[in-house]
Structure 1
Amino acid sequence: MATLLKTSTEIQKGKNKKSAKDNAIAGPSETSTYKPRKDKTLMLCSRGVTQRMRHLMRDLEVLLPHTKKDSKLDTKSSLHLINELADLHSCSNTLYFEARRHEDLYLWISRSPNGPSIKTHVQNIHTMDELKMTGNCLRGSRGIVTFDGNWEKDESTKLMKEIFTHTFSVPKTSRRLKPFVDHILLFSLLDNKIWFRNYQIIEKDPLTPTGPPVPSLVEIGPRFVLTPIKIFEGSFGGPTLYSNSEFISPSSTRASLKKEQGDKYRIRKQTQDQREQRQKRTRDDLPEDQLARKKVFA
């Protein structure tokens, strides 16, 4: 019996050596060549941000545990300095919130340091504190980044989808990550705008906790709308790959509204001057009254 066991053990060892030799000849396996993604996102803003803009940044920081925050950037012209900050923090993605005139917010999404980068205009901002929705998710959990079917129609939208995927998807190697998936980050493309929504995944109906699991979605927040302006080949600059010809800057919109109001005031004053001149001509054309004061008391 001992001889049989010894013979079977030797045969098994020979098979293991043979399989190892075959694997070495064939090359490395797929598991050995797999490299985990180690993307980190740098988040910073410019001077002049308002309270609502800061709350939006705080909500995004809660949703993305792989982000690193930095202090406010003093300059608005030398944006290439952000690539150096991303290099210091070992970040490969950048979210830069640029505030203009304390009311306009622009969001730069860039792959540092070589690009590409997207410049967008942020509108319809609603933070978690404003919405006060019933949904809730674990702090530091991973979110499933999803896109609707309109992102595969154009090359520019495909490029934006790839940048959003690298920036907003949390890698498994994040230190602050909790191994739990309970919410969905949805990016929808409608009317040449990008609509962002955040939903919680509920396994069971709260009204019937003992019933069968019925997955459903409940919106948490925040929510905002991005209008893409330009896509640059480099990071925060370079040749323009895409330009939105339908975009009108908010400063131009306000200038046109002020011009319309000024035109209304100008038309009203011109009408008033014409009325006064017409009344003066009418008084001059009338014959002199015999009962006028200057004749009666002459």
Structure 2
Amino acid sequence: MAKRKQPEGPAPDATLRTKKQIKKPKKSAPGDATAAAAAAVVVKQPVRGAFSTALAGPKPKETEPVAAGPGGNANGSGNTFKNKEKVLVLSTRGVTFRYRHLMEDVLSLLPHSKKESKLDTKSDRGVINEVADLKNCTTVLFFEVRKRQDLYLWLSKAPEGPSVKFHVANVHTMAEVKLSGNHLKGSRPVLSFDASFDAQPHMQLLKELLTQTFATPKRHHKAKPFFDHVISFTVADERIWVRNYQLVVPPDKKKADPENASLVEVGPRFCLNPIKVFSGSFGGPTLYDNPSYTSPNAVRAAIKRKAAGKYGSKVAAKDRREQHRANNPAPRDPLEGLFKGQDEDDEEGGE
């Protein structure tokens, strides 16, 4: 039996239905009012692939807005704070292999960091704030190398500041020291600060900057959800000494006990000498200036002056010796011509 051929063309609109197709609504009994109200409350099933507010739970109560912190923002769920700290790590051109290895070691300690290519300019540091904005980073670690031998580390909160400039010395990378410690890459560290960080205001600021930089955010997609190493910041000789230790727990212990746990150094090692603290990012008014800081150029100049003074002292001693000989001539020896006259007589007799 042949099927009826459907007429071509657009489907008829719902408004063009005949009167026979339109059914009159049935009269509902008074008892069905509650059922209709309950049916109106039923939420429709969410469409797959679309955002559903039904799965998000009840609407939260209206609260006062929470100010966003320096390392993240406050979401709409009450006073919950979510740390979205990201660190931008980059260096200048002309960096030596040793300082580049140090930067790679620091990158391995920061799973929430982003590496950027080398910066071409050394004068206009404001470009770094733009790069940090493009990378959605709130903190910048900038390794600046001068004369291919002096390393300076800028630690800045982009784009408004504050920022601090360090001189890095006593650098020992992981490849150099070859220590026995080893912790899992991407695990969260325990930050240990010396009591001297709470003594002065500028040290408190440095502590907060270091905390926001080296503390791995909780539930970061690249971080491991446990602690197995300690990063130590110790103040000695007005410098900050940085060390990284592995937290070792005996295999027969199921829980970490401070009495049974031990620390094994992993590396790297380096020393930070603070130079200046600025209120802005890579500049601005100076908040702190280290009076005891001596630049490497001044140290090298003092060494050259000392070497030049040593040679000058030798020349001056030689001049004084010659002047002394001229002022105090040696007396003539009475036996000076004794054998000289005898030799002359022997020559005359031989003739």
Superposed pair shares fold, TM > 0.5: yes
> Which residue of 179, 184, 202 maps to 1:156?
202
The aligned length equals 269
Structure 2 residue 241 is the aligned partner of structure 1 residue 195 = yes
Q: How big is each residue's C-alpha offset from its partner over 1:261-283, in whole Å with a ceiling of 9 and x where there is no partner?
A: 11111121122234345556777
Amino acid at match of 2:221: R
> Higher relative CO (CA 8 A, sep ≥ 6), structure 1 or 2?
1
Q: How big is each residue's C-alpha offset from its partner over 1:186-216, in whole Å with a ceiling of 9 and x where there is no partner?
A: 1112221111111111221xxxx43675222
1: CA distance, partners of 2:289 / 2:271? 18
- The gaps in structure 2 that reach 5 residues or longer are 1-56, 66-75, 345-351
Q: Paired residue for 1:78? A: 124
Structure 2 residue 263 is the aligned partner of structure 1 residue 221 = no
Q: Paired residue for 1:101? A: 147
Q: How does 1:118-197 map to 2 (within 5 A)?
A: 118-197=164-243
Amino acid at match of 1:176: K
* CA shift in 2, pair 1:273/1:239, >3 Å: same
* 8 Å CA contact retained: 1:143, 1:169: yes
Q: How big is each residue's C-alpha offset from its partner over 1:231-278, in whole Å with a ceiling of 9 and x where there is no partner?
A: 000001000000110011111011011011111111211222343455
- Matched position secondary structure for 1:71: coil
Q: How does 1:247-262 map to 2 (within 5 A)?
A: 247-262=293-308
Deviates more, 1:33-42 or 1:236-245: 33-42
Q: Paired residue for 1:4? A: none
- Matched position secondary structure for 2:292: coil
1: CA distance, partners of 2:225 / 2:247? 15
TM (normalized to structure 2)? 0.69
Q: Paired residue for 2:160? A: 114
- Matched position secondary structure for 2:132: helix
CA RMSD of aligned residues (A): 2.9
Q: How big is each residue's C-alpha offset from its partner over 1:136-185, in whole Å with a ceiling of 9 and x where there is no partner?
A: 11111111222122211111111111111111111125332222321111
Structure 2 residue 286 is the aligned partner of structure 1 residue 210 = no
1: CA distance, partners of 2:292 / 2:210? 22
- Matched position secondary structure for 2:152: strand
- The gaps in structure 1 that reach 5 residues or longer are 1-19
TM (normalized to structure 1)? 0.81
2: CA distance, partners of 1:269 / 1:215? 63
1: CA distance, partners of 2:103 / 2:254? 38
* CA shift in 2, pair 1:128/1:26, >3 Å: closer
Higher helix share: 1
Q: Paired residue for 1:44? A: 90
Amino acid at match of 2:79: T
1: CA distance, partners of 2:119 / 2:152? 14
- Matched position secondary structure for 2:263: strand
Amino acid at match of 1:115: G
